[in-house]
């Protein structure tokens, strides 16, 4: 098991109920796990906990052989070696694509930085765009820069918070397939949050269904949605899934 | 660190509250029985009329300029902020000099047209005159705040109203005034705080208010105790006003979203309306900026020879030095405190902004009282330990700079905070996920992204300090003159012509700073 989350609890200081309630998860190395849940179910909160941007009230998080967080230990986000692609990308507006991507390569030599920049730009198909500023890119291109920036420091684990929600439907399907290919080429372990069943199904090795901060179901896409090809039909015959979402 | 900063601001105010409850003396009993009601009535009349007129003039100008296109509109956009460069006390004696018996207007009438006018109509040194002065030189507060709001928040509402076929007047009264209520209240509160803070205008025009009374009891009667009691009373009134402001502003606080900013497209005016709008803006601009400036330039030409001395340069040096130094400290403190309350949750983080605002609400004369009591007790302490042979802090420029910080921290703070609000915490988080610590992220990302807001805050604080009068009059070290005290002293000693040069310098430096500020805002 590469990622191991045990008994995670979290409550926002001004909230009354637990936002994350007894969350458990294991992921194999190189696996893609999707967390599927409706709006407000706690998906973003969960990612922020794993990233270290929030401190859980209780629970352990292990990534690789390192304990990220337990009752006696809390590793700051900058020292976790976890990458994240934000919902609105959060590309630094005052930096070029190149500067954005190299931003996380803190202790790398000049030459290594340059090679790495070319590598990731190639990976996301944006060679030649390195001198542009974020506002000079289309939504899909920005999304790919955000991915390249997160991949560049070679994170142990990569987190995605609804990375497609700002894209139109056609682009979404195209990028989704590209993304799976990229993730599989680099072999990075990733967690992917969405409220879209199709996203979940197309991308995931494993799906976790989250509702009100609790896990209600887990399994491979086939186990959860069945093996039928037509998604609308499947939704119709699978009331089990619908009621969960 | 931010906790230390914030307590520094609280201390002088606390020292007033503590002393407020000390035993009172005969002076205080006398003041309470005979004078207090006059101070209160005068202050209320001033606040009321100045508030209403600045609101009317400020919002109508803001609306004209945001919604319509007419000659010189591009210039008026920032030109109408310029009257802020003229401190009201300078406006006050300039207008008096223009209108009195020997002034340019009456002289011209007498010599050219052989008309001698009834002096009563030309006497500006009374309550209506003071109201006129305050309105002319303070309305830009309402104008800028309302204009900024109209520019970025209301576009879709106003466009919808237009599509639904409302006439301009209807839109103004049914849509613009209600939705801008919060910003009008915010602007008018600033104006009111300025009026209560003022010493120069009311002193020159002989109107009894709290600030003149504080000066009188303290320096005229040498009675610090009663001055403290007056200050305490004024603080209570201001707290009442601040609460009223909260209530008036209402529950609705319109927050703006960065992504959906759409600019209102101005409608070109035609024919008579075009020239009406133009004359209205031009009329206000002349009264509030051009006329007083021309008069000052004329006086300056009469007297400039006297001034080409080292003394003037040392005064300029002093002024720019203290303003620059204090504004720098203020800006750094504003960044530290607002960054703290941005990144932390909890009560302290929420309270900090409120406390910085407190300093800005308290009139200079009151802060001066608090700071002097505070510094003298510190000096006594140091003296009693035998470290020094005399009082060092309360006789140095340190005290003055400290006072500027207490009073103007809020100015820079507001600007920096709105900058932080605009960028949110997303970029910091993204940077931390890429391996940078909070501090590294702050210097590499946040600071760069809010450069404009920081610079804006610095400029605003700088201008305010440059013009500041009551604090400087009370707290400056012996023989330490700034342009503001210089101008005011000449004017009160009936040497109005000599006051022109330092006044013009203040106006020029402020006007240039205002232009920069506007430029920075427009570019963002
Ligand atoms: N800063 C906060 N303070 C208090 N409660 C919060 C805060 N942020 C989120 N919540 C609450 O926590 C719950 C989970 O929020 P979260 O953002 O994790 O949902 P989500 O599943 O990501 O939703 P979406 O799909 O809309 O992004 C929600 O009920 C939300 O109201
Ligand atoms: Mg979310």
Residue A244 belongs to some domain of the structure: yes
pLDDT digits (tens, 9 = 90+) for B305-359: 776 666 778 888 888 889 999 999 999 988 988 888 887 777 777 777 777 777 7
Checking if the pLDDT of A97 tops 90, the result is: yes
| pTM as predicted | 0.77
Bridge partners of residue A3, in order along the sequence: A27, A63
Task: Identify the CA nearest to B337 among candidates B40, B101, B3, B99.
Answer: B3
Min mean pLDDT across A3-7, B82-86, B192-196, B303-307 is at B303-307
pLDDT band at A101 (very low <50, low <70, confident <90, very high): very high
Kindly list the residues of chain A whose beta carbon comes within 8 Å of any beta carbon in chain B.
13, 51, 53, 76-79, 81-84, 86, 88, 90, 92-94, 103-104, 106, 149-150, 153
Residue A243 predicted with pLDDT over 60: no
- Position B279 scores a pLDDT of 93
Q: Determine, for residues B430 and A92 on separate chains, whether the beta-carbon distance falls below 8 Å.
A: yes
On the question of pLDDT at A245 being above 70, the answer is: no
Contact between B435 and A76 using a beta-carbon 8 Å cutoff? no
CA gap B213, B225 in Å, rounded: 13
Looking at the DSSP assignment, which residues form a beta bridge with residue B266?
none
As a whole number of Å, the CA-based R_g of chain B is: 24
Cα B348 to Cα B3, B342, B344, B352: the distances in Å are: 9, 11, 9, 6
Token code pair at residue B237:
């009134």
**What pLDDT band is residue B67 in, cutting at 50, 70 and 90?**
confident
Confidence of residue B285 (pLDDT cuts 50, 70, 90): very high
Q: Which domain holds residue A45?
A: 1-81+194-245
Residue A8 within a domain: yes
The pLDDT value recorded for residue A35 is 92
User: Does residue A18 belong to any structural domain of this protein?
Assistant: yes
Phi then psi for B135, rounded to 5 degrees? -60, -45
Give the count of alpha carbons within 13 A of A29, CB side only.
8
State which H helix or E strand residue B1 sits in: none
Indicate the pLDDT class of residue B130, thresholds 50, 70 and 90: very high
* Among candidate residues A57, A42, A61, A145, the one with its CA nearest the CA of residue A96: A145
Please list every residue in chain B whose beta carbon sits closer than 8 Å to the beta carbon of residue A79. Answer: 435
> Residue whose CA is closest, atom 7 of ligand 1?
A12
Q: Do B435 and A104 touch (CB under 8 A)?
A: yes
Cα–Cα dist B462/A223, whole Å: 67
Nearest bound ligand to the CA of residue A18? 1
Task: For Cα atoms B324, B440, A94, give the angle at the middle one, nearest 5 degrees.
Answer: 75
Please tell me the total count of domains within chain B.
1
Q: How do residues A170-215 score in pLDDT, each as one tens digit?
A: 778 888 888 888 888 888 999 999 988 888 888 889 999 998 888 8
Q: Which domain holds residue B126?
A: 2-523
Mind giving me the DSSP string for B228-292? HHHHHHHHHHHHHHHHHHHHHH-S------STT--PPPPEEP-HHHHHHHHHHHHHHHIIIIIHH
pLDDT digit string, tens, across residues A144-173 = 899 999 999 999 999 998 888 777 777 788
Longest dimension (CA), chain A: 57
B121 DSSP assignment: G
Q: Which letter does DSSP use for residue A141 in this model?
A: H
Contacts 24+ apart (CB under 8 A), B476-480: B476/B397, B476/B400, B477/B395, B477/B396, B477/B397, B477/B400, B478/B395, B480/B318, B480/B397, B480/B400
Rounded mean pLDDT of B276-293?
A: 92
Largest CA distance in chain B: 82
Q: How far is the CA of A46 from the centre of ligand 2 (A)?
A: 9
Predicted local confidence at residue B252, as pLDDT:
47
| Token reading at B402 | 């400290």
For B407, the 3-state DSSP assignment is helix
Residues with CB under 6 A from ligand 1: A 12, 14-15, 19, 37, 39-45, 195
- Gap between the Cα atoms of B161 and B78, Å rounded: 27
> Atom 1, ligand 1: which residue's CA is nearest?
A12
Question: What pLDDT, on the 0 to 100 scale, is given for residue B387?
Answer: 66
Please report the pLDDT score of residue B393 as a whole number. Answer: 67
ipTM exceeds 0.85, yes or no: no
Confidence (pLDDT) at B154: 61
Which residues of chain B have a Cβ shorter than 8 Å from any chain A Cβ? 345-346, 426-427, 429-437, 440, 444-445, 448-449
CB atoms closer than 10 angstroms to residue B498? 21
> B518 pLDDT exceeds 80?
no
CB B468 within 8 A of CB B364: yes
What are the DSSP calls for B159-185, one per residue? Answer: HHHHHTT--HHHIIIIIIHHHTHHHHH
- Reported as a pLDDT band with limits 50, 70 and 90, residue B164 is low
The predicted model gives B53-61 an average pLDDT of: 92
* CATH code of B107's domain: 1.10.3720.10
Which residues on A lie below 8 Å from B433 (Cβ)?
51, 53, 77-78, 82-84, 104, 150
* pLDDT one-digit tens code per residue, B12-41: 777 777 776 766 676 777 777 677 788 888
Q: What is the DSSP letter of A126?
A: -
Hey, are the CB atoms on B426 and A84 less than 8 Å from each other?
Answer: no
Q: Which CATH number belongs to the domain containing residue A212 in this structure?
A: 3.40.50.300
- State the pLDDT at residue B132: 94
Task: Report strand pairing: A189-194 vs B68-69.
Answer: unpaired
């Amino acid at each position: 098991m590469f990622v191991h989350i045990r008994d995670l609890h979290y409550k926002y200081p001004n909230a009354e109920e637990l936002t994350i309630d007894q969350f458990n998860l294991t992921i194999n190395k190189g696996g893609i796990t999707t967390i599927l849940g409706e709006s407000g179910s706690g998906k973003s909160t969960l990612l922020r906990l794993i990233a270290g941007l929030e401190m859980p009230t209780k629970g352990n998080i292990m990534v690789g052989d390192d304990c990220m967080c337990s009752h006696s230990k809390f590793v700051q986000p900058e020292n976790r070696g976890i990458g994240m692609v934000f919902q609105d990308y959060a590309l630094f507006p005052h930096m070029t694509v190149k500067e954005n991507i190299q931003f996380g390569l803190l202790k790398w030599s000049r030459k290594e930085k340059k090679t790495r920049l070319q590598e990731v730009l190639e990976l996301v198909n944006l060679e030649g765009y390195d001198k542009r500023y974020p506002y000079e890119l289309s939504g899909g291109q920005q999304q790919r820069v955000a991915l390249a920036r997160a991949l560049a420091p070679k994170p142990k684990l990569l987190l995605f918070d609804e990375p497609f929600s700002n894209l139109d439907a056609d682009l979404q399907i195209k990028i989704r397939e590209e993304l799976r290919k990229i993730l599989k080429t680099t072999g990075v372990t990733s967690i992917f949050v969405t409220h879209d069943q199709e996203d979940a199904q197309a991308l995931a090795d494993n799906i976790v269904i989250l509702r009100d901060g609790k896990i209600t179901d887990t399994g491979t896409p086939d186990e959860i949605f069945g093996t039928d090809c037509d998604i609308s039909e499947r939704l119709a015959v699978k009331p089990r899934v619908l009621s969960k979402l | 660190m931010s906790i230390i900063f914030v307590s520094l601001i609280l201390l002088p105010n606390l020292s007033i509250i503590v002393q407020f409850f000390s035993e009172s003396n005969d002076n205080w009993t006398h003041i309470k029985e005979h004078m207090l009601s006059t101070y209160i009535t005068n202050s209320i009349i001033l606040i009321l009329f100045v508030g209403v007129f600045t609101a009317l003039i400020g919002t109508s100008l803001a609306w004209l300029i945001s919604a319509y296109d007419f000659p010189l509109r591009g210039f008026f956009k920032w030109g109408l902020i310029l009257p802020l460069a003229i401190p009201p006390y300078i406006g006050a004696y300039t207008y008096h000099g223009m209108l009195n018996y020997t002034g340019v207007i009456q002289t011209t009438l007498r010599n050219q047209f052989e008309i001698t006018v009834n002096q009563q109509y030309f006497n500006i040194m009374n309550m209506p005159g003071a109201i006129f002065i305050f309105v002319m030189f303070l309305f830009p507060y309402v104008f800028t705040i309302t204009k900024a709001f109209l520019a970025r928040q209301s576009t879709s509402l106003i466009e919808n109203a237009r599509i639904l076929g409302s006439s301009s007047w209807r839109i103004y009264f049914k849509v613009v005034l209600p939705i801008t209520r919060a910003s009008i209240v915010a602007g008018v509160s600033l104006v009111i705080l300025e009026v209560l803070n003022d010493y120069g205008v009311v002193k020159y025009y002989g109107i009894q208010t709290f600030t003149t009374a504080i000066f009188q009891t303290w320096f005229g009667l040498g009675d610090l105790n009663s001055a403290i009691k007056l200050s305490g009373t004024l603080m209570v009134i201001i707290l009442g006003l601040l609460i009223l402001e909260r209530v008036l502003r209402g529950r609705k606080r319109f927050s703006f979203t960065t992504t959906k900013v759409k600019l209102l497209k101005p409608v070109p005016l035609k024919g008579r309306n075009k020239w009406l709008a133009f004359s209205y803006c031009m009329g206000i601009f002349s009264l509030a900026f051009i006329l007083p400036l021309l008069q000052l330039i004329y006086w300056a030409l009469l007297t400039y020879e006297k001034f080409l001395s080292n003394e003037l340069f040392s005064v300029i040096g002093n002024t720019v030095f203290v303003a620059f130094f204090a504004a720098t400290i203020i800006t750094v403190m504003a960044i530290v405190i607002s960054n703290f309350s941005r990144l932390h949750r909890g009560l302290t983080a929420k309270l900090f902004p409120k406390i910085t605002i407190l300093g800005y609400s308290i009139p200079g004369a009151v802060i001066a009282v608090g700071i002097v009591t505070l510094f003298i007790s510190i000096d006594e302490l140091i003296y009693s330990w035998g470290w020094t042979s005399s009082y060092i802090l309360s006789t140095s420029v340190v005290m003055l700079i400290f006072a500027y910080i207490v009073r103007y921290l809020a100015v820079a703070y507001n600007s920096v905070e709105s900058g932080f609000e605009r960028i949110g915490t997303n970029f910091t988080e993204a940077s931390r996920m890429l391996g940078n610590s909070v501090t590294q992220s702050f210097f590499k990302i946040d600071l760069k992204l809010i450069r404009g807001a920081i610079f804006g805050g610095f400029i605003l604080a700088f201008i305010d300090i440059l013009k500041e009068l009551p604090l400087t009059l009370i707290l400056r070290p012996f023989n330490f003159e700034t342009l503001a005290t210089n101008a005011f002293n000449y004017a009160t000693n009936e040497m109005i012509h000599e006051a022109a040069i330092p006044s013009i310098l203040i106006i020029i430096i402020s006007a240039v700073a205002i232009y920069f500020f506007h430029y920075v805002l427009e570019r963002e």
